Amino acid sequence: MDDAFIKILKVIYKWVDGEERSAEIIFAQFKELITKVPLLYSILLVNSLALVYTHYGVAPDYLTIYVAAFLSFACISRAVRWYGYRKSEFTLRQAVNQIRMTVFFAVLMSIGFSAWGYALYSYGDVALRSHVIYYISITVIGIIVCLIHLPAATWAVSVTVGVPFISFFVYSGHPVFLAVAINFTLVIVVLAMVAQGYYRAFSSVINAKQQLELQHRHTKKLNLQNEVLANQDGLTKLANRRSFANYLDKKLSKSEPQKSFIVGLIDLDGFKPVNDIHGHAAGDRVLTEVSGRLTKLLSNQSMLARIGGDEFAFVIEHTAEHIEIKKLGQLITAALQVPFQMRTGLVQISGSCGFAIYPEAGNTAEELMERADFALYEAKNNARGSSIIFSNEHESLIRKKSQVELALTQSLQKEQITIHYQPIVDGQTGEILGFESLARWLHPELGQIPPDQFIVIAEKTGMVNEITLHLFEIAIQALKTWPKDLYLSFNLSAHDVINSVTLEKLRETLDKHGIAPNKIQFEITETTMMADLEHCSNITQDLQQQGFLVALDDFGSGYSSLSYIHKLAFDTLKIDRSFVENVQQNPRSRGVVKTILELCSSFGVRCIVEGVETEEQKDLLLELGCSSMQGYYFYRPAPIDKFNLGSVKTDA
């Protein structure tokens, strides 16, 4: 029985109060009450004073003076109290308490004032009685309107005033008053229902507003996260390329022309094999540690970013002297040479560094980046693991390069490109074993352009395949005139190696001339091979299966790692001339050459040493166990007719 009663109460409460109220609704209700409650008490007071005025002298003084004064005092003090709430801050708990008190007082005041009304009713004539009826009904309507945001209060007032009101007038038996009572009941019921509907709409507006605010906050948070992600490198948490470019643009737009700064670019050498050999997780760890080492070296005010796979960029204030920048470059490259401890063992890489100084090297972000990149490229080409500052000579090199680029794109005619040949000899006897073909471009205005300049450009413009095929055709025609035991060593660019159509056409050329593939050795640089170890290895394997020979060119100029050469398919290894250069002075170079030679003999591959320029170098290399050699000491590259192939030279 009790349970059923509580359930009914709950249902009524829920219906009256709507769904569970949120904090926002409670505060909104409270805010409304702060403005409406003083108004409510003012209506009550004015209406009550009007009743005092009509009943004064007719009803006893205790009703028209003392009780009225007491009730008025209660009204005024409540009104003043609520008026004071305007400026105070309330917690949720306090607001809930105030709302509860409002319902309680609404009931208490309703009982008090209606009891007072009924007491006055018995003293007047019909007109005065009508005033009492008018007073009670109009006051209740006023109160309901004022408490429209608080359904619990409107219902409490409607019931506590309405029920006695109706009972009283039904009991009085007066037909006019009975009609008024019925009329009043209807109005109150309708009004209470309208109030209920109004409250529902009010609370759903507040809820929607709250939802919107939540959504807005959520979107704002997401935007912030996106902003961070869009400008940050996920792995190292450094700035990314985009944010680096923005930074540089902003700096340039602010910078006074006389205030110099430096743009630096760093590129890791030998990083790719770390990924291939030790796995991507190890590669990631190396990059993270590189970022840590660089951050430590560069001051706090500088900007450091990872702008590509293994490329980093930074901006620092100019340290006045070139020598200072050089020092920084040395510190950076030295820091990158310290081996990295991985679970699979120590990993050694190096890093090259290029600097461009604002404003000497350029005024725009694009120029500065281009110049720093050029210096970096020079550093990489000259000596890996070094640093270079962009200079005036570089500027003229760039100018020359762009002239070549222009000439190449505008006026490259295959016919202008010819071949010089350089013999590959037996170091002991000087006997010519074969020829390496080296491309030469004789431009009508620019003169002779070296191959490492125009091949790069031809690679960029997509012409390299066409040039390769043209050169191969000439070389094969030359080969046909040589003594039978000589072979042709032919350089392939990275773009040729990955282009199956070019490879097929090379094969067709060979077949057309009826030459056996074992007369041809394709030279592929270590850097090309390492760019995609697995893919290239498959290709060279395929070439070997067709009968061609494959040489790993410029060995030691790139990653110098012996640990992966067993993964590559090749017949000959060409030791880069940088080792020969200081093979006499540097015991380390000697050691490296010796190790490579031993490795070659254990793998059963031939070895050619490039760049032999002096007799001493030749003798030392012979001592170390080299047999095949190439270099200015024996022959410089020259047109084929400069070699007397009828009577091959036996001594240099």
Of 151 and 611, CB closest to ligand C2E: 611
435 pairs with which residues across the strands? 423, 488
From the list 68-76, 226-234, 446-454, 499-507, the region that binds ligand C2E by CB under 6 A is 446-454
From the list 286-294, 319-327, 349-357, 448-456, the region that binds ligand C2E by CB under 6 A is 448-456
- Which of 267, 373, 496, 553 is close enough to bind Ca ion by CB under 5 A? 553
Partner interacting with residue 617 (select from ligand C2E, Ca ion, none; CB below 5-8 Å by kind): none
Residue keyed to tokens 């200079």: 391
Give the residue among 393, 259, 262 at the shortest CA–CA distance from 325: 262
Give the residue among 442, 439, 422, 521 at the shortest CA–CA distance from 474: 439
- Which of 345, 450, 547, 587 is close enough to bind ligand C2E by CB under 6 A? 450
Taking residues 256 to 285 in sequence order and writing x for each that binds ligand C2E by CB under 6 A, - otherwise, the string is ------------------------------
The CA distance from 552 to 526, in Å, is 6
The sign of the torsion formed by the CA atoms of 273, 278, 280, 284 equals negative
Partner interacting with residue 439 (select from ligand C2E, Ca ion, none; CB below 5-8 Å by kind): ligand C2E
DSSP codes of every residue in 409-464: HHH--GGGEEEEEEEEEETTT--EEEEEEEEEEEETTTEEE-HHHHHHHHHHHT-H
The CA distance from 648 to 636, in Å, is 15
Give the residue among 15, 32, 12 at the shortest CA–CA distance from 202: 32
The reply to whether 554 sits near ligand C2E by the rule CB under 6 A is: yes
Of 373 and 554, CB closest to ligand C2E: 554
- Which of 233, 310, 523, 571 is close enough to bind Ca ion by CB under 5 A? 523
Partner interacting with residue 526 (select from ligand C2E, Ca ion, none; CB below 5-8 Å by kind): none
Of 154 and 465, CB closest to ligand C2E: 465
Least Å distance, CB 523 to Ca ion, is: 4
The reply to whether 553 sits near ligand C2E by the rule CB under 6 A is: yes
443 pairs with which residues across the strands? 447
The CA distance from 475 to 309, in Å, is 39
Least Å distance, CB 544 to ligand C2E, is: 19
Of 279 and 637, CB closest to Ca ion: 637
Of 16 and 438, CB closest to Ca ion: 438
Of 239 and 417, CB closest to ligand C2E: 417
- Which of 102, 491, 521, 528 is close enough to bind ligand C2E by CB under 6 A? 491
509 pairs with which residues across the strands? none
Least Å distance, CB 479 to Ca ion, is: 16
Report which residue's Cβ sits closest to Ca ion: 523
The reply to whether 526 sits near Ca ion by the rule CB under 5 A is: no
Measure the N-to-C terminal CA separation of the chain; round to a whole number of Å. Answer: 123
Least Å distance, CB 522 to Ca ion, is: 10
- Two structure tokens written together for 350: 């190096």
Of 30 and 579, CB closest to Ca ion: 579
Considering only residues 569-608, where is the footprint of ligand C2E by CB under 6 A? Answer: 577
Q: Is 475 in contact with 488 (CB distance < 8 Å)? A: yes
The CA distance from 630 to 636, in Å, is 9
Q: Is 189 helix (H, G, I), strand (E, B) or coil?
A: helix
The CA distance from 469 to 152, in Å, is 94
The reply to whether 267 sits near Ca ion by the rule CB under 5 A is: no
Least Å distance, CB 639 to Ca ion, is: 18
606 pairs with which residues across the strands? 572
Of 330 and 582, CB closest to ligand C2E: 582
**The amino acid at 549:** L
Least Å distance, CB 451 to Ca ion, is: 10
Of 390 and 555, CB closest to ligand C2E: 555
Least Å distance, CB 472 to ligand C2E, is: 9
By CB under 6 A, the count of residues binding ligand C2E is 24
Of 110 and 630, CB closest to ligand C2E: 630
Give the residue among 171, 105, 96, 163 at the shortest CA–CA distance from 136: 163
Considering only residues 384-443, where is the footprint of ligand C2E by CB under 6 A? Answer: 422, 437-439
From the list 147-155, 485-493, 538-546, 597-605, the region that binds Ca ion by CB under 5 A is 485-493
Of 292 and 450, CB closest to ligand C2E: 450
Residue 106: left if φ>0, alpha if ψ -120 to 50, beta else—which one? alpha
- Which of 277, 425, 471, 605 is close enough to bind ligand C2E by CB under 6 A? 471
Of 290 and 424, CB closest to Ca ion: 424
The reply to whether 491 sits near Ca ion by the rule CB under 5 A is: yes
Least Å distance, CB 495 to ligand C2E, is: 8
573: which residues sit within 8 A by CB, 6+ positions away? 551, 552, 555, 565, 596, 600, 605, 606, 607, 608
Of 55 and 618, CB closest to ligand C2E: 618
**The amino acid at 193:** M
Partner interacting with residue 233 (select from Ca ion, ligand C2E, none; CB below 5-8 Å by kind): none
**188-197 long-range Cβ contacts below 8 angstroms, 24+ apart:** 188/140, 188/141, 188/144, 188/158, 188/162, 189/158, 191/141, 191/144, 191/145, 191/158, 192/144, 192/154, 192/155, 192/158, 195/144, 195/145, 195/147, 195/148, 195/151, 195/154, 196/16, 196/151, 196/154
The reply to whether 618 sits near ligand C2E by the rule CB under 6 A is: no
The CA distance from 610 to 628, in Å, is 9
φ, ψ at 347 (rounded to 5°): -120, 130
Q: Is 628 in contact with 434 (CB distance < 8 Å)? A: no
The reply to whether 496 sits near Ca ion by the rule CB under 5 A is: no
Partner interacting with residue 438 (select from Ca ion, ligand C2E, none; CB below 5-8 Å by kind): ligand C2E
Of 266 and 439, CB closest to ligand C2E: 439
Cα Rg of the chain (Å, integer)? 48
By CB under 5 A, the count of residues binding Ca ion is 5
| Site for Ca ion, rule CB under 5 A | 491, 523, 553-554, 610
Residues that bind ligand C2E (CB under 6 A): 422, 437-439, 450-452, 455, 471, 491-493, 523, 553-554, 577, 610-613, 630-632, 637
